[in-house]
Amino acid sequence: MSETPRRRDAARSRQELLKAAGELFAERGFERTTIREIGERAGVDPALIARYFGGKTQLYLALVQSEHGDEPPTDLLDQERLGELFERLQRRPSPFLQSVMLPSDEPSVHEAGQAHLYRRLVDPLRERFEREGLDRPRLRAEIAVAAFGGVLLARSAGALERLAEADPAEVLELLHRLLGGVKGQLPPDAA
């Protein structure tokens, strides 16, 4: 009796590739991650990246889209959202955040990360500032997002000793106050 070849579970393989790519891009960045490493970590043939995604860049773009889907987010001044993002991203900044905040040789990766950053973080804040009638709403939103991303990157890199060692709750409290200050006032609960 001959053995039947094992069927590949395409959906599972795609998910494993996305998971492995997310981990490796976060650890090493886009440029320093190879297709072979992604396949090895996922436990699948690296050639499946080309089959399912078209290449490493397209895999990255699919990863960015899969991170949050299409659900409209609340803005960073929402303490619950800020806390959830901070908790998740302080352990490992997401690949999309790194692709925007750090230099990249791949323009399409940078552009995709930037579009995602605006859609998920900048635009909700800009819209809030517009509703509140604040001047320069986009600039205010970009400054708030830059401060948030900078704190996360500096903390994870250990670039600033006290920031890297500080209790997450303490950092989150001060970060919430800082972001509220972009509006020109502290949030009511931070006074």
For the chain, give every domain's residue range: 1-68, 72-191
Q: How far is the C-alpha of 62 from the C-alpha of 87, rounded, in Å?
A: 23
CATH superfamily of 1-68: Homeodomain-like (1.10.10.60)
pLDDT of 140: 95
**Over the stretch 46-97, which tens digit does the pLDDT of each residue have?**
999 989 988 888 888 788 777 666 666 789 899 888 898 888 777 666 666 6
> Would the pTM of this model clear 0.85, i.e. be above it?
no
